[in-house]
Structure 1
């Protein structure tokens, strides 16, 4: 019997799934690794810790589910979050930590580039919005602010490219992850020379470009032995978490629906054969396969914000029982009227990407009065996260007809949240409970590579019809009124966001020099 392993390198941990060739889950495991925020705009991870955790979880799932049942691993398919940057020396050793998508240190570079003609040109060529998330401006920041690291760097990698290199010795990057760097020309599918010149690097300092179906060499002998895997086991470089979540929701090019992911961060995406063009540079356009683009907008602030709220204000019977504490807060929020009696929450604790693309954005509660209680803050926090998701969907609907929604991610698929999404959008919401869209997308990709399916469009209908949450029209009317205020606040406070960010930096530097 053969099986397929999928490995997702997420923001806060690695998820490993094992599937049989019919797409049924054999087993799954998850391992966690921390993200370090040394200062407000910093977001880093230790690449060695990411790799060791990945290896540990992979070995455990093999020993518990695969080897005892005599499965043969046909392929291991990788997927990962986007926009990470890791500098390595000529020996492949990391120079410092990996910089994640949430890092905002390159605000100055991003703002200057975004307001320039070069920035507009690069957005049209690469499909990646100009923002501190982009590896393009992260590398420019390293060149400007960490000159010694820049001088010593042999290659700039994504965290996925680093893990695959550790396992196989090959430096490779798939088209999907590459198309999220701001360095890939998505029309020619080559590294864009104008972007390379802006970053101050050459194409040789990046990994080799390859389609998502590509096999990245063989496992090194040491890992074949320690993992008890055959030399014939394929290491598929795979795609990004966003592209595979959309594929794993059963999307076919051109369908009039959108995919919503709310995990730690979040996104709203559509899939189609055409690039979304926007003079305001608000959309991303990431390449999955030939003439298949996953387009949309991402948010920094998803389930991680409610987790932050839970850590600060939840009641823990067990200090490590985050999930149970979150469920208790959700139950309390369900007793609060729709709209939280006028209490609004701007969820921008990590700055924001779409649709406002403002790295200086900050969180705020608005509309507070003497009658508001803790339960109102709980529900307002949830609603604020979902208003932000809706603002991205509203932006996308300017370009594409969206008649229904598919929701995935551990936060978005909580029934209370799924119903709120249906009410806020006023559209039916499809949800697959106990279903992990990213890993299933990786399975579909691997199965297509093996010839089980003739194409990804042929594989997508395998996704079964899910449960549907239908919108409550009365609730939608209330949410529509409050969203208007939410949307205005998000842009009206632009100057204040920038001012408080500058003050924070000023006083942080002042304290350091005391």
Structure 2
């Protein structure tokens, strides 16, 4: 019996799913790898550790489900997070760690480029907002601040391209992740000359751009043997996590529906046949295929912020009961009225992307008074994360009509959060329980490539199970609308203070140097 495997290379770990050909989940597994924050604004991962984790999880899931069940793996489809950069040498060996989407070290380069005529031109050509997340400015930072690494680099890869190269020997990058680099002209689907010149590299130093349904060669014989896979197993290059979450949730072009993902980070997305044009450069426009643009805005601050809050202020019976502690906090939050009795939280603990695009943004609790208790902080934290999601959706509605929402991601699909999203947006929210949109989107790609579906449109309109629907509470929406206006004004008014405190943090990062200066 044939089956399809999907491999998601996420921000904090890998998720592997096995689907039968009808789209039912046979089994799943996940593994984790760390992110290193060695300095302020730095966010890096060890590519070899990611590869070893990928092999480990793949081998375990094959041994537990595939081989005992006598399944034949027809296809393995890869998906991954966007905006990573990994310089490798001429033999494909990593030159240090990979730089992730959350890395803000290139914020000076990004700000200068964003404010220039070239930056505006590159945004129109590439569809990627000018921000430190962009590999375009990450590579420029390496060029200017890590010169030896830059000179030694034969290629600059995404993490997914590196993993695929390790498995097959091919250097390939799919349309979706390529269009999120800030280096691809999304209109001609080729590397953009002005972007290459700005970064100081050539097209040969990037992977070959390929459609998301492309096959990435064959598994090397060593991995065929160690994993127990046949030589004819298809390796599909796949797509990005954001594009596949949108496809997996059944969002199709032209529909007045948006997809909200809240996992560690988050995003609000729509699908269409044309790009969203915005003089303020607030939206991304990424390619899924030649006929599909995934447009919207991302946030750095999603479920990772609630996890941060839980680690700092939750109660743990043991160090491993994160889910139990989160559930306890959610129950406390449910006993606080909408609006958290006047406590407003800005969730910008990791800077911010859409819609303010400010890498210096910082978190804050506002409106605190003597009557506020821990439960108010809990609910305000959740509301603040969702206000930020709403601010993206509200901006997106300037360009697209949105009548209803589909929500995915481990944080967004918590029933308490799904209801808050419905209330804040004042729109019905659809959620598919026990459903992973990214992996299902990868299944759709594989199934379409195999001919099970005639097109991506055909696949997206045939959901496996009907969703749950959360209807908005109009009274709560009125309350949230009032508090959101304060949230929105604070995010704008504190821009100067965000920059000032970021400069101070940078200034006082090395206390040993300060001590030396004091002595002088």
2:5 alignment partner, SS class: strand
Name the stretch that deviates more: 401-410 or 499-508: 499-508
Map 1:348-387 onto structure 2 (within 5 A).
348-387=348-387
TM-score, normalized by length of structure 2? 0.98
1:87 alignment partner, SS class: strand
2:509 alignment partner, SS class: helix
Structure-1 residue corresponding to 2:105: 105
Report deviation, 1:462: 1.9
C-alpha separation in 2, matches of 1:123 and 1:71: 46
Deviation readout 1:347-385 (Å, 9 max, x if unpaired): 000000000000000000000000000000000000000
C-alpha separation in 2, matches of 1:53 and 1:116: 41
Deviation readout 1:57-77 (Å, 9 max, x if unpaired): 011110001110100000000
C-alpha separation in 1, matches of 2:290 and 2:185: 13
Report deviation, 1:318: 1.7
Report deviation, 1:165: 0.4
C-alpha separation in 1, matches of 2:402 and 2:229: 44
Deviation readout 1:186-237 (Å, 9 max, x if unpaired): 0000000000000000000000110000000000000000000001001000
1:462 alignment partner, SS class: coil
Map 1:418-457 onto structure 2 (within 5 A).
418-457=418-457
Map 1:18-417 onto structure 2 (within 5 A).
18-417=18-417
Structure-2 residue corresponding to 1:511: 512
C-alpha separation in 2, matches of 1:223 and 1:131: 38
C-alpha separation in 2, matches of 1:58 and 1:342: 48
C-alpha separation in 1, matches of 2:315 and 2:114: 43
Report deviation, 1:251: 1.4
C-alpha separation in 2, matches of 1:511 and 1:486: 38
Deviation readout 1:280-313 (Å, 9 max, x if unpaired): 0000000001121000000000000000000000
C-alpha separation in 1, matches of 2:180 and 2:510: 32
C-alpha separation in 1, matches of 2:325 and 2:202: 49
Q: Which runs of 5+ in 2 are unaligned?
A: none
Report deviation, 1:268: 0.1
Report deviation, 1:394: 0.2
2:239 alignment partner, SS class: strand
1:490 aligns with 2:491: yes
Deviation readout 1:387-430 (Å, 9 max, x if unpaired): 00000000000000000000000000000000000000000000
Report deviation, 1:512: 4.6
C-alpha separation in 1, matches of 2:430 and 2:318: 33
1:475 aligns with 2:461: no
Report deviation, 1:511: 3.4
C-alpha separation in 1, matches of 2:6 and 2:148: 37
C-alpha separation in 2, matches of 1:179 and 1:335: 44
C-alpha separation in 1, matches of 2:132 and 2:398: 25
C-alpha separation in 1, matches of 2:352 and 2:64: 41
Deviation readout 1:80-134 (Å, 9 max, x if unpaired): 0000000101111101100000000000000000000000000000000000000
2:143 alignment partner, SS class: helix
C-alpha separation in 2, matches of 1:170 and 1:328: 47
TM-score, normalized by length of structure 1? 0.99
C-alpha separation in 2, matches of 1:31 and 1:412: 21
Report deviation, 1:324: 1.1
C-alpha separation in 2, matches of 1:222 and 1:322: 38
1:320 alignment partner, SS class: coil
C-alpha separation in 1, matches of 2:110 and 2:252: 34
Report deviation, 1:509: 4.1
C-alpha separation in 2, matches of 1:425 and 1:443: 30
Deviation readout 1:6-57 (Å, 9 max, x if unpaired): 0000000000000000000000000000011111200000001111001100
1:468 alignment partner, SS class: strand
For residues 33 and 512 of structure 1, do their structure 2 counterparts lie closer, same or farther at Cα, with a shift above 3 Å needed?
farther
C-alpha separation in 2, matches of 1:511 and 1:496: 26
Report deviation, 1:465: 2.6
C-alpha separation in 2, matches of 1:310 and 1:510: 29
Deviation readout 1:235-270 (Å, 9 max, x if unpaired): 000000000000000111110010000000000000
Alpha-carbon RMSD: 0.7
Deviation readout 1:422-459 (Å, 9 max, x if unpaired): 00000000001100000000000100000111110010
Q: Which runs of 4+ in 1 moved over 3 A?
A: 509-514
Deviation readout 1:135-183 (Å, 9 max, x if unpaired): 0000000001111110110000000000000000000000000000000
1:17 alignment partner, SS class: strand
